[in-house]
Structure 1
């Protein structure tokens, strides 16, 4: 008895396991049932000799065939004759109806399950040389847009995205915001980028580059660091180095991220990058257009390439060796970046050129006549620093970084007034560790969108005005709306005082930039856009993060705008070779110029900024034109 119970339980257990196998197991059971019915019916017909009325008795094979036909098609039994034969075929047909009805249901259920699995985005990606984007944030659409532009010259480019988000929802959002994908295919997968198994779905082993975005929500930096850790320490990873560009919000987490990523990762400090560019552009109108031109793929880009033709030349001579490209620095054998080195430095074998050009295929040295007019070069003019008054309207987590960065550039005796109405604003300003003899800070708690409150600040008396978005306490759209109101108030104040007010505004959402243009602010620093551009560039150029660290570091060479008339005689047409030599004599590299004229088309909305102009073409400049230079001071 116990033995029978044991075998009965074992058979039920095995049956339950097979039923849990899914659609394939169910189809197998139905096929077995059909086979048993057909065999039993064939045996019964052959043994009993039952046959259709007027027909001869059937053998096993013929009886099994007749049963099979009635199993497949219930209408086959309609022509049967003889009640004994009809009864047997009726039973076979009923079994067939049961089996095939169940089979249709199983197949339908299996297809729905498979489609549901595909919609979940859990199938493995088998692409090669693809770009992977991990995590989801508002920056992702700008990153994708830039990669699409960069991929136009590639064959069958692919972008693979994985985030803790529904696959269909990701695809719908991308389709709504990115209409023209050109030749790039976008593939979405759902998963946890910090999980080794899920990372295997996007196949990082064969990827070209990997971008790790800072996701929405708390503790975003920890998620980024854990994702990079999972990538570089995967036991099944490829032996070759990855090319990873990762976004970190808080600079305090940068050191840990660098330890984790090592030489395989470029780190983009989002808040630090935005804060530095805000400070730079607040002091020099139009500078944000220069950074945008260098960062986006639609125009000139920065390349790090071997240039054998300039090896053995001095850096100064090498700068003048190009007509349609701009040499701005060198990358030594150890990978260290040196922007605007000493003009007399000899370029050694193995050093790569850091060069600005519209396309890497067009970079070649100039063999024609430079046509330099040395008589047009003006003597060096030294301009001293004077104390400045700066006003910051609004506050967010980048505020302390901006204030500290500003203190690195101003002359002693400068003043900074910070006006906002956020909860922890005053305590954060009080915690700033700035030398009051260099930059004194005064907080004012006011509603920055109120005209009366702004009038009390005496806006026209300030040299520079920075408007920050309340992005920590409001959504992107709400913060930008308040910023727009503040900008409109500043425009009215400037018109009433009949004075030009230098305003730099931070915009969270790039779509609001066009609305902000009616306020006539000098520059708009679009936060998410700049970070997205930087991440996209870093995924294509392994030295990009180091280049911009140098560009935005007060200790190195930075981008400045200075009057063209300080460098050359603007009374006659000159080519840019002449302007470039004038800059080199001051230890600077000329990058381009800024002209604002009614007859100059501004197709790319860069405010008259031209980076990397053709050096052999002669241009007539005016007193209002500015020269864009890379200089140590």
Structure 2
């Protein structure tokens, strides 16, 4: 090859050099001088030096030229190979992350887009803000997927993808988690991947130590791994249960249409959200005084010095030393008190209403891992005499296992029917408009179901056709697996959809930003803690009257609730698409009508004698964390629980 290459070069260079010399008017006259000129031109072209004289000198010049050419070619080859290897290493995602104060995301699932998007927002404004993702996938593919989902513009925050096993401490070291601001561990798309989450937490412990490093927030899908994951996470770790949270959100959305959008607005990092703030000026004030003291912050409770949260305290409960305020506000800066007192119009406040809670009739279409949790929640929280009708396909197996046993008080009568929810004849055989709520579930993801949302979309399409034929709206709540299916779901005006794991992802990012929020969400999403509810504005102010939001807050306080926002009625827009205005100014005045809704935090244990019962509301929880104990004074109890 080298010989043929040299021959080809000479066959081109020598004739062209000869032609250049013979066509030069200033060329020598003699043949020998012209041949020397041809040699010099050819030698300069081939970088051989062009030395003339004795044949030995010319051969030595050729030898040195070849050596120089070989050295230069070798150097160029070494540089090219080194650069290629380095670029390939970068493409494979094996280089070390050098940033500090960045966010680390471990694992890849349908939650990664929500988590990374929220963490990008949290890194805005930081010097060299970055979000580092580590998963056993090609880094170029991960970067492409994230850029497609989040958009190219990330407000100056770098999204760095690295390839490796998150369970390998050597791969974890590439992300320098010790210098990170927080670490989030995502569960896989299948419940069998929860063991991987425990291994990742153990790998972090092996790399950072038992009590060192940044806060770690993780999630599992199977509650059987919850205890093991919390032990592996250690004292600085928080572990959430995805399945229980999703099931409670489904029940919450089914009983209070439109609450899903309100929860998204309240938990994401855009607009107002929950914060724990220091407010020295609130020391010694009652909660009623604090609630009306700040213009752009809605107080919902106290975070005690021992870390326990108390939501919706009594109006007379005073802010003690070491207590911090739990507020809904645009940012976590200390709220600024108003110089002038906020006017409350007592004449437009609505009086309490005595309405009994009615029994419900619910239709559950489909079955998956969360269905037994949904059935259990409906049984425990519904009024006695309620009915639950379950329609599942023949390939769903035994759906009655663990779900059809009798409850202690027999609140709900459960009936089962075999039928494919995707078939129009199955749904048309049901009296759909006789149900208060329709909950539609899709099958679990698996190797034979690449897109489990397809069956659910068929069910929703059939339900939508029934709505259009009858001219009536169905209160449908659907559970989707892929966030991209949300835009495709054919939902009616009263329909809503819950993306599995989305709420848990938002809670994870909020806790990762501030570990104090773990106690707040523990109380907010506990089985008996304070909860969120959307109530008609007529429960607080007289319809058609003009009143400030401070009047709404004061009216809610009289009922033991905390008003944190409102949603104005829009007859032309489906309720699920109307945003909730969070933490509006206390002095904001508007004419309230009976269709407007107020977003409130309700007191704990909202039973038959609470204000929730007076309004006929059915409140449940979208989460499942342990209840914080309280003392006899209504504040969080200190010390170990009594045996």
TM category, shorter: 0.7 to 0.9
User: How many angstroms apart in 2 are the aligned matches of 1:294 and 1:489?
Assistant: 32
Residue 559 (structure 1) shift? 1.2
In the aligned structure 2, how far is the partner of 1:154 from the partner of 1:273?
32
Match of 1:452 in 2: 425
RMSD: 2.8
Equivalence for 2:373:
401
- Aligned partner of 2:410 in structure 1 is 437
Which of 250, 262, 265 lines up with 1:290 in the alignment? 262
Question: Which residue number corresponds to residue 378 of structure 1?
Answer: 350
Is 1:551 aligned to residue 524 of structure 2?
yes
What residue ranges of structure 1 are gaps of 5+ in the alignment? 1-70
Counterpart of 1:408 in 2: which secondary structure?
Answer: helix
Of 181, 188, 206, which aligns to 1:208?
181
SS of the aligned residue for 1:210 comes to strand
Residue equivalent to 2:392: 420
Cα distance in 2 between the residues matched to 1:185 and 1:475: 36
Q: How many residues align?
A: 560
Whether the aligned pair in 1 keeps the contact of 2:569 and 2:597 (CA below 8 Å) is no
If asked which structure has higher relative contact order (CA below 8 Å, sep 6+), I would say 2
Deviations 1:124-152 (A, max 9, x none): 11101111111112221222222233333
Partner of 1:281: 253
In 2: Cα distance, 1:508 partner to 1:442 partner: 26
**Counterpart in 2 of 1:625?**
596
Distance 1:184 1:294, change over 3 A: same
Specify which of 313, 335, 354 is matched with residue 363 of structure 1.
Answer: 335
State the match for 1:145 in structure 2.
117
Indicate the residue corresponding to 1:563 in structure 2: 536
User: Residue 566 of structure 2: SS of its match in structure 1?
Assistant: strand
Question: Relative to 1, partners in 2 of residues 1:133 and 1:94: Cα closer, same or farther, differing over 3 Å?
Answer: same
SS at match of 2:148: helix
Q: SS in structure 1 opposite 2:239?
A: strand
Which residue number in structure 2 is paired with residue 609 of structure 1? Answer: 580
Q: What residue in structure 2 maps to residue 34 of structure 1?
A: none
| Aligned-partner Cα distance in 1 for 2:394–2:445 | 9
Given that 1:395 and 1:425 are in contact with CA atoms closer than 8 Å, whether structure 2 keeps it comes out as no
Q: Which residue of 2 aligns with 1:47?
A: none
Structure 2 CA distance for aligned equivalents of residues 183 and 98 of structure 1: 46
Matched, 1:522 2:499: no
Alpha-carbon separation, structure 2, partners of 1:439 and 1:598: 34
Match of 1:270 among 229, 233, 242: 242
Work out the CA distance in 1 between the residues paired with 2:461 and 2:138.
40
Deviation of 1:606 after TM superposition, in Å, equals 4.2
1:157 to 1:302, Cα distance in 2 relative to 1, 3 A: same
| Post-superposition CA distance 1:335-362 (Å, at most 9, x none) | 1222112222221111121111122347
The 1:571–1:388 alpha-carbon spacing in structure 2 relative to 1, beyond 3 Å, is same
Contact 2:476–2:495 under 8 Å retained in 1: yes
Q: Which has the higher helix share?
A: 1
Partner SS, residue 360 of structure 1: coil
Matching residue within 310, 326, 331 for 1:354: 326
**Cα displacement (A) at 1:280:** 0.6
Q: Does 1:589 align with 2:562?
A: yes
In the alignment, is the contact (CA less than 8 A) between 2:260 and 2:576 conserved in 1? no
Which shows bigger deviation, 585-594 or 96-105? 96-105
* 8 A Cα contact 1:277 1:552, kept in partner: no
Distance 2:599 2:143 in 1: 42
Tell me, in whole angstroms, the C-alpha distance in 1 between the residues paired with 2:576 and 2:360.
29
Give distance in 2, aligned partners of 1:520 and 1:486: 16
Bigger mean CA offset, 281-290 vs 167-176: 167-176
**Pair 1:171 & 2:134 matched:** no
In structure 1, the residue matched to 2:639 is none
Per the TM alignment, residue 605 of structure 1 is displaced from its structure 2 partner at its CA by 6.8
CA distance in 1, matches of 2:187, 2:596: 40
- 1:467 aligned residue: 440
**Does the 8 Å CA contact 1:392/1:419 hold for their aligned counterparts?**
yes
- Further displaced range: 565-574 or 188-197: 565-574
- Unpaired runs of 5+ residues, structure 2, are 1-42, 607-643
Aligned partners of 2:68, 2:600: CA distance in 1, in Å? 85
